[in-house]
């Protein structure tokens, strides 16, 4: 016999799963083959600015997922979906990208309907902004980004020796 409260829990779990959908199952750290295996061929493939990595764009179940792959691993992933996000959206995406290291929300004075941020012990960060969606980056992505910026910075002029 199924208790009414069990039905409610099951219904809520199914509803929450439907909010996130299969496209949102892509995870940070995965290979291109794993990403493609989750939801098929990418809609678009391009280079990240300054050749930081390759961007794979997927669309499924009203979700747009962009994965930046560097050295064969997804080091940055962005989830976008139109409309309002529920707490279930955040919980499911963060849990799917926890990699055995729980996320800790960083307290902020910003309005939660506009900006939320999290961090993992391994240095991965996550930021959700209403206009850009949920963006997760690894420490490896930020290191590659910093190196790219340093390479593109103009060299400092050496002081001339006065004569």
CA 20 to CA 79: how far, in whole Å? 10
pLDDT per residue as tens digits for the range 113-130: 889 999 999 999 999 998
Q: Which pLDDT does position 25 carry in this prediction?
A: 64
DSSP state of 47: E
pLDDT per residue as tens digits for the range 90-115: 999 999 999 889 999 999 888 888 89
Model confidence band, residue 49 (pLDDT cutoffs 50, 70, 90):
low
Decide if 30 contacts 70 (C-beta within 8 A). Answer: no
Task: Pick the more confident residue, 4 or 60.
Answer: 60
Continuous H helices in the chain: 4-20, 32-39, 87-96, 139-152
CA 140 to CA 100: how far, in whole Å? 17
> Taking the C-alpha atoms of 33, 37, 38 and 42 in order, what is their torsion angle to the nearest 10 degrees?
70
Decide if 28 contacts 97 (C-beta within 8 A). Answer: yes
pLDDT per residue as tens digits for the range 136-159: 999 999 998 998 888 887 765 555
DSSP letters of 66-110?
Answer: EEEEETTEEEEEEEE-SSPPPHHHHHHHHHHT-TTS--EEPP-SS
Rg of the Cα trace of the chain? 20
Model confidence band, residue 51 (pLDDT cutoffs 50, 70, 90):
low
pLDDT per residue as tens digits for the range 1-42: 544 444 443 333 334 344 445 445 668 999 999 999 987 899
Structural domain boundaries in the chain: 17-150
Q: Which pLDDT does position 13 carry in this prediction?
A: 36
Is it the case that residue 77 has pLDDT exceeding 70? Answer: yes
């Amino acid at each position: 016999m199924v208790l009414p409260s069990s039905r409610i829990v099951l219904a809520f779990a199914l509803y929450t799963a439907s909010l996130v959908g299969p496209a949102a199952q892509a995870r940070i750290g995965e290979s291109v083959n794993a990403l493609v295996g989750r939801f098929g061929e990418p809609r678009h493939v391009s280079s990240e600015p300054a050749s930081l990595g390759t961007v794979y764009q997927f669309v499924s179940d009203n979700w747009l997922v962009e994965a930046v792959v560097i050295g064969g691993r997804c080091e940055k992933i962005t989830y976008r979906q139109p409309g309002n996000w529920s707490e279930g959206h955040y919980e499911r995406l963060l849990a799917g990208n926890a990699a055995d290291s729980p996320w800790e929300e960083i307290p902020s004075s910003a309005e939660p309907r506009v900006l939320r941020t999290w961090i993992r012990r391994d240095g991965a960060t996550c930021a959700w902004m209403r206009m850009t969606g949920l963006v997760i980056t690894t420490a490896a992505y930020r290191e590659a980004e910093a190196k790219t910026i340093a390479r593109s910075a103009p060299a400092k002029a050496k002081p001339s020796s006065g004569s």
